[in-house]
Structure formats: structure tokens, C-alpha cells
Structure 1
Amino acid sequence: MAPTVSIIMPCYNAVAHLPDSVRSVLAQTFADWELIAVDDGSSDATLAWLQAQTDARMRVIHQHNQGVSAARNAGLAQATGTYVAFLDADDTWHPDFLSRMHEALDARPEAVLAYCGWQNLGQTGGRGEPFVPPDYETPDKTEKLFAGCRWPIHAVLARRDTVQAARGFEPGLKNAEDFALWLEVAIPSPIVRVPAVLAYYHFHNGVQASNDRARAAIAHWRVQRRYLQRHPERFAHLSADRIRRLTDGELLLRGYESYWKRDIGTARQIFRVVMKERYGSPADWKHMLPALLPESLHRWLIRALAGDIAGVEK
């Protein structure tokens, strides 16, 4: 008999964190699930650890390294549950994650996706406060969801047939692959919020998608542009200026975030893309144009303008 929920866990050189993630699945108060762990060509002991597990609800798939999107798609192809959830091998869930999310979707047959709150663990400077997102099922849902990815991938429970109809994750995307999927799934159909912190994102020193800020920001922008090309009818109510603010303007804001943090390398990459799109006010271009200079000269100019030649981070 098919389980109610299929959990898909892509794994790549994850043995240091994998036990905690799997324990959080085993601890779920909702027990009608299958866990499909996809080893994506790991070179450490990930595959051996997975194969040593004895819970009958776990299945292991091994493939040559193809990236996280292909790994998730491989798991999705084997999934049999009515609902599907995605948990990376270095993140965890609250024990009530599946029960609360399933309850929300079961009560709303028309909804295709439930999302919840989350907490970032392992960050410094007060950036790890728990967060519960607002209700996005509002008249401006399309605009809100299009502006940015509103939840991490493991803070979602979705109907499997809807995710498969959207063709899952695009293997060519190295960042924003979940954003691209949720645009296809969540904008045209009802979604439901579970107002509780049930998912945990663990920051560590390993390779994580969030580490390359410029690549992530530009990938997000490209996903937006492609979605606009595919579904122009969904934005007919928005002005051209508003659409540019949601795309080029959002990318510019991400460039400024890096700039003011003195992450000049990231800001330079983003500013160059924005300038190619001929976006921004004269004041914006005053900040962006030096990105065309050699980086060492750009940094010197920032220090000179700040009146503190020795004070800028490298």
C-alpha cells in the first residue's frame, strides 16, 4: 500500500550531517511516509551509511553525480505518496512537521501546497530568529511570489501530482531551482499557510547553495525572466515599470545589500548585470559604474569616498 507522504532527500558527501536529518524524519509523529534517499555520487561514506539503515520505510537510490535537481527528480520519479516533501541531508524538521502540514492540506482539497515557518541555525549576529511567513493567498499573490522565493524547500508539503505535472526541478539550474518550481505550482493554484516554525536550516562550513550570493541572485533574476516569457498573461495587470522593479529592481537591491556589507566582489557581478539591462536611477549608476573598473581600483575608490583608506574589508 502506498504511503501518504514521500520524502525525497538528495545526498552528496553528506555523512557528517545526514544522521541528524534522518533522525528528524524518524521522529515524525506522522508515521505514514517513505523516505527516498538519493546518493548523488558521493565520495565519502554517505552511501554506506544509507545502506546500513534498517527502517523499512527508507529506500536508497544511487546515481553518478548529476546535481541536486537531478537527484530530487530521481527521487520524485520513484515516489508513490499522495504528497511529497523535500528535505536536504543537512537540514531537519520539527517532529510535528508532517502531521501539521498534512492536516492543513487534507482540510483544503483545492490547495496544492502547504508552507510553514522556519529557523536558520548556526548563523551569528541575531540572524537566526524563528520566522513565520505571512499568508500569501491574497489578491496580490502573483506579485508577492514572483518577487522572491518565500520559503525554503524543506518548509513545504505539496501534492505529488502537481509537482510532477510541473516537471519537477530543472537540472540545468544550479540555484533557484526550487523558486522556479514553486512559481509553476503555487501561483496558479491555492496554497495554505501553517503558522508554526517546523523546519530548520542548518548553516555550516560545507558546500551550501547559499554560499555564492552573486550566483544565487542572478539565477533568481533569470528564473523570473524566463517565467515572464512563459506566462505573460499572469502579469497583464501589472505595468511594465512594476515588472522591471520586481525583476531588475530586485536584483539591484541584492547588489546594494552586498555593497553596503562591503562584499564588493558580489556587488560588482550583480551591478554589471543590472547595467546591461540599462536599469537604475542616476544615483544608482553612480554606485554601479565603478564596477566596470578593475576590482583593486574599485575598492580604492570606495575607501577614498568614505574617507577611510584603511577601513574597508578585503
Structure 2
Amino acid sequence: MPTISVIIPTYNAERSILETIESVRKQTFSNFELIVIDDGSTDRTLELLSSVVDERIKVFPYENAGGPIARNRGISRTTGEFLTFLDHDDLWTPDKLELQLAALQQHPDAGVAYSWTYYLQENGESFHAGEPLFFEGNVYSQLLVKNFLDSGSNPLIRRSIIEEIGGFDPEFPYCADWEFYLRLAEHCKFIVVPKHQIFYRQSSGSMSSKIESMEDFNVQACEKLFESVPPELQYLKQQSLAHIYQELAHLCLVRISDAGGAKQASQKLQKAIRLYPRILLNKKTLTLAIKLLLIRVLSPKIASHLLQLSSKNRASRIQYSNSERVLQ
């Protein structure tokens, strides 16, 4: 019986699915099963999946039902003692499963192990490291403020905890990960693997209307989540909303390539600051402010080129460092 079950929900993933699966097959921990739930793809996803020869991989096609239901279908197909999820365009470092499993085995009182995140550009040519965080134990209040796990591709979870709390809630299509992690945090302790191990791919070129839809869904989700939050923690709501607008400001810069993206980013960031002025002390807020200043002073095109060059240089240094560790 496999120790770990990896669940990948896919939908029209022909551009990335083979690379994503390969990042699982290259794991230093090999006693896993890989459950791929195809959520009604209409491209070559299933054809590409059929070309992968590995007895640990099982593919289950379904009609389209959305991400939360696809993940729940994956959970129902698993047999491992520990479960983890990987979005079809994200990647892992080779030691992700090994180190997260070791963390949970060393801390039997913890139910979830998580790692730090790299933000990967859509073309895969550059990335930057997310902020290192050390939240452990009861992390419920920290998760209320922000989904610091960043994506659905991060945590390793004990099966027993999922059986206790249930799966993903389809009523939170954009924030199902966040809502799921909050329920986990209500029932178990978290442990951190202090290493960047998740490559979270950032889409580019999305229309501004998509950003506005994300704003609506995230704000509505925040409002709904806080309906059941204890009175003594309700004061965190403004801070939580501020972090939503901070992230929207970041997405405006990443996904909207013209000058309108910078304008929208500035508006979102100003709203974040009005909601929670102390967010100005946050490193990400300062970074966004510097980027917006560069765009205003240098023009969007030149500033974008400089920021991309800086990101590629960081990626090269990280890749070189990783190569040295492998050689040692």
C-alpha cells in the first residue's frame, strides 16, 4: 500500500500536464500513488496522459464539475495514509514529499505539513521566492488573515484528518483551498518545512475583467468565512480583506501587461492600505510600491523589462545553487 496519495485535478492541461507529472515521478520519495482526475478536458490532456508509462499513475476521466468536486473525486480514489494535491500546471522540487513526510513523522501531533513557495511565470523562464513564514501549531488566526500556503499544491495531510472534516466545499470555487485549510486548522496542528518546494505558476495575459471577478469572489468568500469566526477573532476581518487587495494588486501587475494594469494595481494597493494601514510595513506591500514607482518613472515597458531581468537572475542563482547541492 502506498504511503502517500498524490491527487492532480486536470482540465485542458495539455501545455503543462507532462511536466507536472514528471515533477512527481522525480520525487526522492517513491512510495506514492498518483491519482489524476480529468475534469472533462476537451484538448489532448487524456491522450498525453495515456503516453506516460508508470504503474503508480491512475487516470480517471469525468464530466466537468469544477475544481473542488474534482479534488473530492480524487480523495475518494486514494488509499494512502497521507494525501497531497498538485494543480496541473504547478511543480514540486524533488524532495517535497520526502521532507514533508519526515516532518509529520517527527511530529505525530501535527496533521498538516507545508512548505514555502516559488512564484513561477507562465512560460517557466523565471520565478521568485515567496516570503518565508514560520507559522506552526495552531495557525487558525494566521490563516484567517491570509492563505499563507498560497496554492492548492502545497500541504501534505494525514488521511485521518480529512476523513474527520470532509473534503472541499464547491460553494467556494475561487477560495476552496483557503476554506479547506481553515477547517484543517480548526482540527489539527500545522508544521512547516522551512524550504521553498512549491512552484506556483502565475498565469499572464488575463483580462482585467477576470481580476474584477476574482475580487468579487474573494471578498464574498471572506465575508462568508467570517460569519462563523468566533467574536474574539472578528477584528482580523479588515486585515484579511487588506491582504486580498494586496494580492489583487500583485495580479494586476503580473497579468495585465499594459499601463492599465499599473493603474488598477495602484487602486487595489491603496484600498489595502485604507483597510489596514499597518500593511505598509509588509515586505510585499513595499515591493509592490517600488514596482509601481518604477513604472511611473521609467514607463511600463522599461520597468517590466528590468523586473523580468531581475527575476531571471534570481532564478539562475537558485538553479545554480540547487545544482551544486545535487553534485555534493
Equivalent position to 1:213, from 211, 214, 220 = 211
CA distance in 2, matches of 1:24, 1:164: 27
Q: Residue in 2 aligned with 1:297?
A: none
Distance 1:25 1:207, change over 3 A: farther
Q: Residue in 2 aligned with 1:145?
A: 143
Q: CA deviation at 1:215?
A: 3.0
Distance 1:206 1:66, change over 3 A: farther
CA distance in 2, matches of 1:193, 1:260: 34
Amino acid corresponding to residue 49 of structure 2 in structure 1: L
Q: CA deviation at 1:211?
A: 9.2
Residue by residue, what CA displacement relative to the aligned partner does 1:15-72 show, whole Å, maximum 9, x if unpaired? Answer: 1111101111110110010000011111111112223322111111100111111111
Q: Residue in 1 aligned with 2:166?
A: 167
CA contact (8 A) 1:169 1:181 kept: yes
CA contact (8 A) 1:113 1:157 kept: yes
Q: Residue in 2 aligned with 1:245?
A: 238
For 1:226-245, what aligned pairs fall within 5 Å after superposition?
Answer: 226-232=224-230, 236-238=231-233, 242-245=235-238
Q: Residue in 2 aligned with 1:224?
A: 222
Q: CA deviation at 1:223?
A: 2.9
CA contact (8 A) 2:226 2:237 kept: no
Distance 1:155 1:206, change over 3 A: farther
Question: Which structure shows the bigger proportion of residues in helix conformation?
Answer: 2
Distance 1:12 1:228, change over 3 A: same
Q: Residue in 1 aligned with 2:288?
A: none
Q: Residue in 2 aligned with 1:184?
A: 183
CA distance in 2, matches of 1:97, 1:280: 36
Q: Residue in 1 aligned with 2:129?
A: 130
Q: Give TM-score scaled by structure 1 length.
A: 0.74
CA distance in 1, matches of 2:267, 2:39: 29
CA distance in 2, matches of 1:24, 1:280: 40
Q: Residue in 2 aligned with 1:261?
A: 262
CA distance in 2, matches of 1:202, 1:17: 10
Q: Residue in 1 aligned with 2:106?
A: 107
CA contact (8 A) 1:29 1:95 kept: yes
Residue by residue, what CA displacement relative to the aligned partner does 1:259-299 show, whole Å, maximum 9, x if unpaired? Answer: 993128985xx98xx9xxxx969xxxxxxxxxxxxxxxxxx
Q: Residue in 2 aligned with 1:25?
A: 24
Equivalent residue of 2:19, what SS?
Answer: helix
Deviates more, 1:258-267 or 1:93-102: 258-267
Amino acid corresponding to residue 238 of structure 2 in structure 1: R
Q: Residue in 1 aligned with 2:3?
A: 4
Distance 1:260 1:157, change over 3 A: same
CA distance in 2, matches of 1:117, 1:146: 18
Q: Give TM-score scaled by structure 2 length.
A: 0.71
Q: Structure 2: which 5+ runs fail to align?
A: 253-259, 277-295, 302-328
Q: Residue in 2 aligned with 1:37?
A: 36
* 1:57 and 2:56 matched: yes
Equivalent residue of 1:10, what SS?
Answer: strand
CA distance in 1, matches of 2:237, 2:36: 40
Between the aligned residues of both structures, percent identity stands at 26
CA distance in 1, matches of 2:240, 2:140: 13
Amino acid corresponding to residue 220 of structure 2 in structure 1: R
